[in-house]
Amino acid sequence: MSSTPQGIDVSIEDKRVVAEQPPAKGHPNTCPGCGSHYRDDELVKHLRMCPHCGHHFPVRALERIAQLLDEGTFIEECADLRSADPLGFFDLRPYVERLAEAETSTGLGDAMVTGGGRIEGSACRLAVMDFAFMGGSMGSVVGEKFARACESATAAGVPLVSIAASGGARMQEGILALMQLPKTVCAVDELHDAGCALISVMTHPTTGGLLASFASLGDVLLAEPGALMSFAGPRVVQQTTKEKLPEDFGRAEQNLRFGHIDAIVPRGELRPTIARLLRLFGSCGQL
């Protein structure tokens, strides 16, 4: 279901776009940048970056946590939360069926994993998204997990590190999905009022409702190279405006140039960079 998720084109919605580009080579371990093909263990060893051209492949939530945290320090929280189907939503297939399938194929309860751990010795809380679970879409469970991660960080007096990868709000939960925007925004305001920092990392893609809520509210905003971070996706913009899109439309590089993020951090430098920020922010409100 998830392969290289390019061409995301949504405003605020779940996107389970199976990669439409590159057209011919659809295998998830084939680099869309240079066409090199890797075994899974090779990609894991290289943090899922192409050793040849530097392309950043998608990273699943648990693998990301393993990349970032000191070994053996992660303690998951709220793993038991599951989505309900408040609208009895049925498009081409029932929402409950899509949920069950996503859980089976990803082994996750929803599109976000939260918990606590240490990065180069500094304690933090983490909220890591997984694009493989229904396009990383944010419904009630993702909103709730993020809000609880804020509360957990506040209680422990440590910063929260958020790693986003999402097409936006989960359409199947209708207006309740939209309400996860204000919900997570309120949670960040509470976190900030308690003196705790939010470090937000945007990975490919961070679009729609994610960009329009907590992901944009970090004290420091980081992005991985080439990550698409736009409120509306390229296809929607093109269809609406008939404008010719710039080559780096909505990409991390454009966002850096226009002043919307603090830095682009290649994956290999992400752990030391976050560790440095955790040291600079210190444990909030506590010694």
The residues of the shown chain that bind another protein, judged by CB under 8 A, are 10-15, 81-84, 86-87, 89-92, 139-141, 143-144, 147, 169, 171, 173-183, 185-190, 207-209, 211-217, 229-232, 236-237, 240-241, 243, 245-246, 249-250, 254-255, 258-260
State in angstroms the smallest separation of the CB of 133 from another protein.
Answer: 15
Nearer to another protein, 49 or 99 (CB): 99
Nearer to another protein, 19 or 275 (CB): 19
What are residue 228's DSSP bridge partners? 251
Q: Which two tokens stand for residue 51?
A: 């050793």
**Helices 270-281 and 61-68, axial angle in degrees (round to 10):** 70
Residue 126 and residue 149 in contact, taking contact as beta carbons nearer than 8 Å: yes
Residue 211 and residue 8 in contact, taking contact as beta carbons nearer than 8 Å: no
Residue 205: helix, strand or coil by DSSP?
strand
State in angstroms the smallest separation of the CB of 260 from another protein.
Answer: 5
Q: Which two tokens stand for residue 229?
A: 């971070």
Residue 135 and residue 110 in contact, taking contact as beta carbons nearer than 8 Å: no
State in angstroms the smallest separation of the CB of 279 from another protein.
Answer: 26
Residue 90: helix, strand or coil by DSSP?
strand
State the pairing for strand pair 122-129/112-119: antiparallel
Nearer to another protein, 15 or 204 (CB): 15
Work out the angle at residue 145's Cα, subtended by the Cα atoms of residues 126 and 67, and round it to the nearest 5 degrees. 25
Nearer to another protein, 203 or 207 (CB): 207
State in angstroms the smallest separation of the CB of 232 from another protein.
Answer: 3
- Residue 123 host element (H or E): strand 122-129
State in angstroms the smallest separation of the CB of 176 from another protein.
Answer: 6
Rounded CA-CA distance 142/165 in Å is: 12
Nearer to another protein, 76 or 103 (CB): 103
Nearer to another protein, 41 or 247 (CB): 247
State in angstroms the smallest separation of the CB of 145 from another protein.
Answer: 10
